[in-house]
């Protein structure tokens, strides 16, 4: 069980700050009255969702090698949070357009496969979304779903792949889709579903074809 | 087996990070059948419990033992309690999600009386029989420590044993005894009969209590051989050579005290007569600067915290404060670590010190004169004068501060309306001191003073233990009188509810007959009584009514010196004669010198260390 997915975005930033402090590696601080580490996470992960390829931009001072950063961060991060790659990323957070999620729905009823297909076939599913100003607003979530697929099922669960709009412009959290899906299916409990972000995609190429963030 | 159900619960609650554990430096050990397990319970929510230094010390210390697993348990917030209840999950430990009832020893730290309902509730959620008399072979032993263990008779029927004093040594001796007992195949009582011989261990079921017709205690006597009439507390004599954890757990979520707490010394030289901590932690024992700097360095490296505080009852009384501050600044400034100095006393506050701690970040200024007039400050032995306060505030305002918080108490013994109104007058004088500065020396155009009053709760093991508390009506009259008298809009006045303070007095001074009241209150839904959103006074009154007990008996009665007190079982090392003499001096308005100025022969020298032998 990976509990780190229950850490909020702010807590995750603090966790990295302290891991960097413990590592003793020199990082660049912002100027000004209240200096802070130059650190940005490309796309905040919703509480309760795990992430396999997340991205953070941290500015280290010259002379700290990529391998050293990876090794020393991993020594100083809690076991559930791992650095898998360190390097220069061309894309910016503002280039992000969508993200892919894996969803495992716990259900012993294979008839729900049909309910899922029906659900994604609908033109309109209205759900409440919290705007940046913390106001609830009804939206049609179907407009935010770019792709979906049933990856497989067994006697206990159904595995799905979802690609949803993500980033600063249009963003839909996967738990909103899963909650609506669970309502439509009837027998599945949304809270027992396992949701994982697998990949973040951005648009950096001139021909408009989406690329992995890194 | 509960893990996946537990995870589903986490999706439905506020702040799930309270329950996830796995923080950096948390200890995860595989428990084998020959090992002992200790569940360290804090009867409040995670962010409060994780701010407590004592828990950090004892958790890491027990885990240093290769034969022991110590795991943490906190009170689930009510949303999580509901979810766990619906899912059929009992109270679990944080590290391994093991049911608390499966641990060998379940220990609670008692930091404040209003957490007693949470102790009962956590036992209930753990599905552990509530009363000691109901526990059988296979049930865990329930123990309690912390400051309230010195007067915890209301929990006597629920707790198998208490540890009085500092746990660094006693806890290890208890674990050693448990190991021997576990292998012996003897009954539960045999274990208690063994550990009752360890100094600092109090086993309430080994004492019989008889009551007089007026409900006072007639006798309080051991009911078997080998049980001491009174239990003497344990202390660590040399704080430099004791276990100090450095690899502290670094929580994911923000906790109340989210920083390295450097314990500079234990005890307090002052002897404010209302303050229990000032008596129960005697004698004052300091750590050396070298030891503290080394601890600080190691803790910074092991935690990555961006803030450190020197924490003691009255940090500015540390004999080498200047040297310590300078050397700590040497290791913190470059690393951008903010060093803060809490609990400053007005009388030895210096501008120089203030500027030093400001080097990194300026934090607010708080002072606690406690009473509004010199007469009453002398009664409570708070040796702070008005001139001291005004001198300090002038220095502070000249040094760039323009906000100050002042803490007072209402309902102190001998208090008159004049003393109450004196609080507002003192606040006005602090404001005036700002305007006596030449305008070019003032920083900021205006000034504000926040006055907070808490309500006096007479505490066991203090010279005021025999005092009655003011009634709720009287305290409310005083607070509103003070509020009306404060006309200056630069003064903000806050005060707290008197219902909670009344119950605090009842449970501080209560006897073991209150155990059943606690159980009933818990059944009625009382929990988190320290939180205003949960506290329900009517429910508590109902619980008292069920058992035909009048709570006013405990809080409002003037107790005579010859009465047997429910907390007489605990010998904190300060003699009753000294307490009586301090009580009498209070009524004469006479102050008592601090331990460093002149020894007052309180009795704490018997421990053979600290300030008594400086």
Closest-CA residue to B308 (of B284, B290, B287, B324): B324
Query: Could you report the average pLDDT of every consecutive run of 10 residues in chain A (214 residues)?
Result: 88 96 94 84 94 94 93 96 92 92 90 90 91 86 95 92 94 94 84 94 85 88
The number of domains in chain B is: 3
pLDDT in tens, B174-201: 999 999 999 999 999 999 999 999 999 9
- What is the arithmetic mean of pLDDT over B271-282? 97
In terms of domains, do A57 and A106 share one? no
State how far residue A89 is from chain B, nearest Cα, in angstroms.
Answer: 27
In terms of domains, do B388 and B443 share one? yes
Residues 6+ apart with CB under 8 A from B20: A3, A4, A6, A7, B10, B252
**Residue B549 in domain:** no
In terms of domains, do B342 and B196 share one? no
- What is the arithmetic mean of pLDDT over B583-601? 96
pLDDT in tens, B52-78: 999 999 999 999 999 999 999 999 999
**Residue A89 in domain:** no
pLDDT of B360 over the 80 cut: no
Residues B214, B186 contacting (CB under 8 angstroms): no
pLDDT of res. B605: 95
State how far residue A50 is from chain B, nearest Cα, in angstroms.
Answer: 13
First to last CA, chain B: 56
Do the chains contact at B336 and A35, CB–CB below 8 Å?
yes
**Residue B554 in domain:** no
Burial of B411 (0-12, 13-18, 19+ CB in 10 A): buried
- What is the arithmetic mean of pLDDT over B475-502? 94
CB interface of B with A, residues 234-253, below 8 Å: 250, 252-253
Q: Is A75 on the interface with B (CB under 8 A)?
A: no
Among A3, A22, A78, the residue with its CB nearest the CB of B303 is A22
Query: What domain range is A100 assigned to?
Result: 94-212
In terms of domains, do A45 and A150 share one? no
Task: Identify any residues that bridge with B37 across adjacent strands, giving them in sequence order.
Answer: B69
In terms of domains, do A21 and A55 share one? yes
**Residue B544 in domain:** no
**Residue B39 in domain:** yes
* Interface with B, mutate which of A1, A3, A74, A76 (most B CBs under 10 A): A3
Averaged pLDDT of chain B: 93
Report the greatest alpha carbon distance in chain B: 79
CA-CA-CA-CA dihedral for B130, B134, B139, B144, to nearest 10: 50
Query: What domain range is B22 assigned to?
Result: 3-211
In terms of domains, do A54 and A102 share one? no
Residue B69, SS3 per DSSP:
strand
In terms of domains, do A208 and A116 share one? yes
Burial of B389 (0-12, 13-18, 19+ CB in 10 A): buried
Closest-CA residue to B172 (of B200, B152, B192): B200
* Interface with B, mutate which of A2, A9, A14 (most B CBs under 10 A): A14
Do the chains contact at B16 and A48, CB–CB below 8 Å?
yes
Q: The domain that contains B106 carries what CATH number?
A: 3.40.50.280
* Interface with B, mutate which of A4, A5, A6 (most B CBs under 10 A): A6
pLDDT in tens, B387-430: 988 988 887 787 777 888 999 999 999 999 999 999 999 999 99
**Residue A183 in domain:** yes
The residue out of B496, B512, B534 marking a domain boundary is B496
- What is the arithmetic mean of pLDDT over B486-501? 92
Q: How far apart are CA B547 and CA B451, in angstroms?
A: 39
pLDDT of B346 over the 70 cut: no
Q: Is A192 on the interface with B (CB under 8 A)?
A: yes
The residue out of B437, B465, B496 marking a domain boundary is B496
pLDDT of res. B439: 81
Give DSSP secondary structure letters for B560-603: PTTSBPTTTTEE-SS-HHHHHHHHHHHHTT-----TTT-----S
In terms of domains, do B288 and B436 share one? no
Q: Which residues of B26-47 are buried (b: 16+ CB within 10 A; e: fewer)?
A: bbeeebeeeebbbbbbbbbbbb
In terms of domains, do B155 and B286 share one? no
**Confidence at B361, pLDDT banded by 50, 70, 90:** very low
Do the chains contact at A192 and B20, CB–CB below 8 Å?
no
Total-model pTM: 0.94
What ipTM does the predicted assembly reach? 0.91
Residues B339, B309 contacting (CB under 8 angstroms): yes
Contacts of B14 in chain A (CB under 8 A): none
pLDDT in tens, B28-58: 999 999 999 999 999 999 999 999 999 999 9
In terms of domains, do A69 and A121 share one? no
Task: Dump strand ranges (E) for B138-225.
Answer: 141-145, 161-163, 201-202, 207-211, 217-222
Do the chains contact at B304 and A17, CB–CB below 8 Å?
yes
The count of residues in chain A is 214
pLDDT in tens, B297-330: 999 999 999 999 998 998 889 999 889 989 999 9
**Residue B223 in domain:** no
Q: The domain that contains B277 carries what CATH number?
A: 3.30.750.210
The number of domains in chain A is: 2
């Amino acid at each position: 069980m990976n509990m780190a997915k229950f850490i909020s975005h702010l807590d995750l930033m603090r966790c990295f700050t302290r891991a960097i402090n413990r590592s003793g590696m020199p990082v660049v601080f912002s100027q000004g009255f209240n200096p802070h580490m130059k650190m940005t996470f490309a796309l905040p992960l919703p509480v309760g969702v795990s992430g396999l390829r997340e991205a953070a931009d941290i500015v280290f001072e010259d002379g700290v090698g990529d391998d050293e950063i990876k090794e020393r961060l991993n020594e100083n991060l809690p076991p559930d949070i791992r650095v898998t790659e360190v390097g220069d990323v061309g894309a910016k957070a503002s280039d992000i357009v969508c993200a892919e999620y894996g969803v495992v729905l716990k259900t012993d009823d294979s008839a729900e496969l049909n309910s899922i297909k029906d659900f994604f076939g609908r033109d309109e599913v209205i759900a409440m979304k919290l705007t940046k100003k913390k106001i609830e607003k009804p939206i049609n979530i179907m407009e935010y779903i770019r792709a979906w697929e049933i990856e497989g099922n067994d006697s206990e669960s159904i595995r799905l792949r979802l690609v949803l709009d993500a980033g600063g412009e249009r963003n839909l959290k996967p738990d909103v889709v899963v909650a609506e899906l669970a309502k439509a299916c009837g027998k599945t409990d949304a809270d027992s579903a396992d949701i994982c972000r697998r990949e973040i995609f951005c648009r950096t190429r001139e021909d408009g074809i989406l690329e992995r963030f890194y | 087996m509960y893990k996946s159900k537990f995870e589903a619960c986490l999706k439905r609650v506020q702040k799930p990070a309270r329950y996830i554990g796995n923080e950096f430096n948390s200890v995860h050990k595989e428990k084998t059948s020959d090992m002992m397990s200790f569940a360290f319970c804090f009867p409040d929510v995670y962010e409060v419990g994780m701010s407590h230094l004592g828990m950090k010390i004892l958790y890491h210390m027990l885990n240093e033992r290769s034969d022991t697993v110590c795991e943490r348990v906190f009170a689930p917030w009510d949303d999580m309690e509901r979810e766990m209840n619906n899912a059929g999950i009992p109270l679990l430990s944080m590290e391994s999600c093991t049911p608390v009832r499966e641990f060998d020893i379940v220990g609670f730290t008692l930091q404040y009386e209003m957490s007693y309902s949470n102790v009962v509730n956590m036992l209930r959620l753990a599905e552990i029989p509530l009363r000691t008399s109901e526990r059988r072979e296979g049930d865990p032993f329930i123990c309690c420590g912390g400051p309230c263990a010195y007067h915890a008779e209301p929990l006597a029927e629920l707790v198998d044993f208490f540890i009085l004093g500092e746990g660094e040594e006693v806890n290890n001796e208890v674990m050693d005894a448990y190991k021997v007992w576990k292998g012996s195949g003897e009954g539960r009582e045999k274990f208690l009969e063994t550990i009752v011989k360890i100094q600092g261990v109090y086993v309430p079921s080994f004492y019989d209590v008889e009551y007089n017709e007026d409900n006072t205690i007639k006798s309080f006597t051991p009911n078997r051989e080998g049980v001491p009439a009174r239990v003497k507390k344990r202390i660590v004599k040399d704080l430099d050579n004791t276990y100090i954890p450095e690899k502290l757990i670094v929580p994911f979520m923000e906790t109340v005290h989210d920083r390295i707490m450097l314990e500079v010394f234990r005890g307090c030289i002052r002897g404010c007569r209302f303050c229990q901590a000032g008596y129960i932690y005697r004698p004052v024992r300091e750590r050396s600067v070298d030891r503290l700097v080394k601890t600080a360095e190691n803790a910074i490296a092991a935690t990555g915290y961006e803030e450190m505080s020197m924490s003691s009852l009255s940090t500015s009384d540390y004999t080498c404060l200047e040297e310590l501050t300078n050397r700590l600044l040497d290791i913190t400034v470059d690393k951008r670590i903010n060093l803060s100095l809490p609990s400053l006393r007005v009388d030895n506050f210096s501008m120089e010190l203030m500027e030093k701690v400001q080097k990194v970040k300026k934090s607010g200024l708080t002072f606690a004169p406690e009473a509004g007039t010199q007469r009453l400050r002398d009664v409570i032995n708070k040796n702070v004068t008005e001139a001291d306060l005004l001198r300090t505030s002038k220095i502070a305002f000249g040094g760039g501060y323009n906000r100050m918080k002042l803490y007072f108490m209402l309902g102190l013994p001998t208090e008159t309306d004049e003393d109450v109104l004196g609080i507002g007058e003192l606040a006005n004088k602090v404001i005036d001191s700002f305007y006596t500065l030449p305008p070019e020396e003032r920083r900021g155009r205006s000034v504000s003073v926040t006055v907070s009053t808490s309500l006096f709760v007479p505490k066991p093991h203090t010279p005021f233990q025999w005092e009655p508390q003011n009634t709720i009506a009287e305290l409310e009259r005083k607070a509103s009188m003070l509020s009306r008298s404060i006309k200056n809009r630069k003064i903000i006045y806050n005060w707290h509810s008197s219902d909670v303070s009344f119950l605090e007095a009842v449970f501080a001074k209560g006897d073991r007959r209150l155990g059943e009241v606690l159980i009933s209150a818990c059944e009625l839904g009382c929990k988190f009584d320290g939180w205003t959103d949960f506290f329900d006074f009517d429910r508590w009154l109902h619980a008292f009514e069920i058992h035909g007990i009048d709570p006013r008996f405990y809080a409002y009665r003037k107790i005579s010196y010859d009465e047997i007190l429910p907390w007489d079982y605990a010998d904190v090392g300060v003699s009753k004669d000294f307490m009586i003499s301090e009580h009498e001096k209070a009524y004469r308005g006479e102050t008592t010198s601090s331990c460093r100025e002149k020894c007052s022969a309180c009795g704490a020298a018997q421990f053979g260390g600290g300030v008594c032998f400086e």
